[in-house]
Amino acid sequence: MNRTRAVCGMIAAAVLLVTGLSASAQQFPTRPMRVISPYPAGSASDTTGRIVLDQVAQILGQSFVVEPQPGAGGVVGFATVAKASPDGYTLVTSSSSMANGKVLHTRLPYDPVRDFTPVAMFGTQPNVLVASKQSGFTTVADLVKAAKAKPGTLTFASAGIGSTSHMAGERFKLAAKIDVRHIPFREGAITEVMAGRIDFYFLPLAAAASVLGSGKLNILAVSTAKRSPLLPDVPTIVEAGYPEGQSSFWVGLSAPAKTPAAVVNKLHDAVEQALQKPEVKDKLGRIGVEPELMSVDAFAKFFKQDYDATLQLAKDAHIEPTD
């Protein structure tokens, strides 16, 4: 009898726990949410995230506190979220750059796949291939011709080893079968290209938007299969003859692993509502971001495929971890 009572008590406690968690998830959010931005304020992922989350906050009735935590190629920020309580109150602006840590380091304080729950996609944007005015390159063909004439001479910049800009450059390098040198920068890469000290650079359109009208750069191509509405006269990398050189930069929202499905779904639905608002579409369009609506499961599948493709590219390009 005592054993039966004990078992019944355990079952009752479990039911109460589940019921409590369910009620908590339904009431979510009851306080402001913290969103870690693993890259500097003003970066492509940070800017995109702020535009979308501003509207999501209005839909949910609670604010988002966006906290930049740059460092170690995004590792610092992602580690913070991986260790956070899975209650929906600590989130991260995820992006194409989530694979960077695995490319850069043999050991990470988190697993980019197992320690996060993809919540919602915000949108995608092309990388823009720009060259310095001094280079004289006005087309992709010009660049490839010069690279093949003097192998190992031309240089391309990136925001660091394993970064999205680095991987876009390596993908193009393999597609065009050219021998060019990679020069990583922690900051100021675009300044070096504009000054003519670096020959070319792939960077997300949102990050490039503020300098494209400087008169110091030639815009050679966008890295996607279709032209960008923001740059309708700029050809695609496919039109230039290098379909295998395609790349894009995506930004979304992720939570710690084991975040309740009800919380994930509530956040996801609010993001999708926000993305369909004309004012959000307009603001994203101004920085070249195209909103993408995906289910939670589709986003998780998309992330895993993109992650695996990045690791395979690193292998094909012989990019070795730095530690």
pLDDT score, position 152: 97
- What would the pLDDT profile of 239-298 be if each residue is shown by its tens digit? 999 999 999 999 999 999 999 999 999 999 999 999 999 999 999 999 999 999 999 999
Kindly report the pTM of this predicted structure: 0.87
HSE toward the beta carbon, residue 203, CA cutoff 13 A = 29
Residue 186 lies in a domain: yes
User: Residue 1 domain-assigned?
Assistant: no
Looking at the structure of the chain, the number of domains it has is 2
Query: In sequence order, which residues have a C-beta less than 8 Å from that of residue 163 and are 6 or more positions away?
Result: 73, 97, 100, 184
DSSP reduced 3-state for 290 = strand
Task: Write down the pLDDT at residue 291.
Answer: 97
Same-domain check for residues 149 and 116: no
Claim to verify: residue 132 and residue 214 sit in the same structural domain: yes
Alpha helix segments (H runs only) across 105-202: 140-149, 164-176, 189-194
Print the domain residue range for 175.
126-248
Cis bond leading into 38, ω under 30°?
no
Q: Is 134 inside any structural domain? A: yes
How high is the pLDDT of residue 14?
46
Interatomic CA distance for residues 221 and 138, integer angstroms: 10
Q: Which domain CATH number covers 55?
A: 3.40.190.150
pLDDT tens string for the chain (323 positions)? 455 555 455 554 444 444 454 556 779 999 999 999 998 888 899 999 999 999 999 999 999 999 999 988 899 999 999 999 999 999 999 999 898 888 888 889 999 999 999 999 999 999 999 999 999 999 999 999 999 999 999 999 998 888 899 999 999 999 999 999 999 998 899 999 999 999 999 999 988 888 988 899 999 999 999 999 999 999 999 999 999 999 999 999 999 999 999 999 999 999 999 999 999 999 999 999 999 999 999 999 999 999 999 999 999 999 988 77
d(CA 4, CA 207): 64
Distance CA 63, CA 69 (A): 19
Is 321 contained in some domain? no
Give the model's pLDDT for residue 19. 47
Examine the domain organization and report whether 263 and 308 are in the same domain. Answer: yes
Q: Tell me how far CA of residue 186 lies from CA of 74, 162, 242, 313, 322, in angstroms.
A: 12, 12, 28, 22, 14
Q: Examine residue 323 and state whether it is found in any structural domain, yes or no.
A: no
pLDDT of residue 2: 53
CA gap 184, 192 in Å, rounded: 11
Query: Could you tell me the end-to-end alpha-carbon distance of the chain, in angstroms, rounded to an integer?
Result: 60
CA distance 103 to 106: 8
pLDDT at residue 323 in the model: 76
Amino acid at the residue 22: S
Residues 136 and 228 in one domain: yes
Q: Is residue 130 located within the same domain as residue 244?
A: yes
Note the pLDDT of residue 132: 93
Q: Residue holding tokens 């008590």?
A: 9
Regarding whether 268 and 212 lie in a shared domain, the answer is no
Same domain, 209 and 273: no
Domain assignment present for 184: yes
**What distance in Å separates the CA atoms of residue 250 and residue 55, rounded to the nearest whole number?**
19
Please tell me the distance from the alpha carbon of residue 194 to that of residue 191, in angstroms, as a whole number.
5
Query: Could you tell me if 233 and 270 lie in one domain?
Result: no
Tell whether 195 is covered by a domain.
yes
4 lies in some domain:
no
